Structure 1
Amino acid sequence: MWNGDGTVDVNGFRVFYSEVECVRRIFEKHPETAMNFGPKNQLVKNAYMNNLLDLIATICLAPQELTVEEIVDAENTILELVEVGFNLDWLKKKLEELCVKKKKMEARGARMRELDRMIVEQRRVLLELEGELKNEENEAVCDSARLGFEDVV
């Protein structure tokens, strides 16, 4: 239902037209989300819905785009929203999955840096060995050369 203030009513929340599809999708996929939501004041309801939408946008970021502080903020926002009656088990699970991905990514990055360091070290050793081989080859050529008359006399 279109309101005079440029918002649309979706399950008792007034949201901007640009957010309607997102909010409808939340309630279609997770109808339990706001079943026990307490606040009646429309401004308060709108503020909490905006927090929920911002939280979802944060969780949609790639793991490498998120800082530890942003993850902690997201966890705190979930707790706050749950306290006012939102059921966000589905979103908690997604945040946990994101945290696991981020930890795996960080561990993988550390392993990749270690492997790169090892490769650089092995290349250095290989260059040294190639230099030694070249010296041995040169000395072998010198040792195996025939002596000329002038060398002997």
Structure 2
Amino acid sequence: MFNLNKFYFKSTYLNVLLELIETLCQLPEKLSDDDLGEASAAVLYLTQVGFKLDWLEKKLEEVKETKKRVKNGKAELQRMEEELQNLTKKCSDLKYLLKKQNVALSFSDVV
């Protein structure tokens, strides 16, 4: 006998699992904290209904860590780019001063 309810739930569980996998396949920087929270909730939900998802939970944690490293790396890169701009301006100013001061004296300047 075909149990429609059982089929519906299996289909729903598999759809949740596929959406979860699709979420984890996105670039970590494109995933919001809400996306990752929903992914954690989905893993918990599927685990509670009997799926063995240790492997997927591990991947989710890896994605969270990667997202954190990307975010921190971007912040550090921006800080370094701003520092580079400041140093470039200082170099330019110093070159201008050196050029202005590096002038040979004329005879009338000495006498």
TM normalised by structure 1 equals 0.65
Structure exhibiting the larger radius of gyration computed from Cα positions = 1
Structure 2 residue 45 is matched with structure 1 residue 80:
yes
Contiguous gaps of at least 5 residues in structure 1? 1-39
The aligned length equals 105
Structure 1's consecutive aligned runs of 4 or more residues displaced over 3 angstroms after TM superposition are none
Contiguous gaps of at least 5 residues in structure 2? none
1:51 corresponds in structure 2 to 16
- Cα deviation for residue 131 of structure 1 reads 1.4
Q: For 1:53-132, what aligned pairs fall within 5 Å after superposition?
A: 53-132=18-97
More strand by share: 1
- Write out per-residue CA displacement over residues 47-100 of structure 1, whole angstroms, 9 at most, x where no aligned residue: 111000110111111111211110011001101111111110000000011111
- Write out per-residue CA displacement over residues 26-58 of structure 1, whole angstroms, 9 at most, x where no aligned residue: xxxxxxxxxxxxxx7110110111000110111
Whole-angstrom CA distance in 2 between matches of 1:127 and 1:56: 51
Structure 2 residue 111 is matched with structure 1 residue 146:
no
More helix by share: 2
Sequence identity (%): 31
Which amino acid in 1 is paired with 2:106? A
- Cα RMSD over matched residues? 1.3
Which amino acid in 2 is paired with 1:137? N
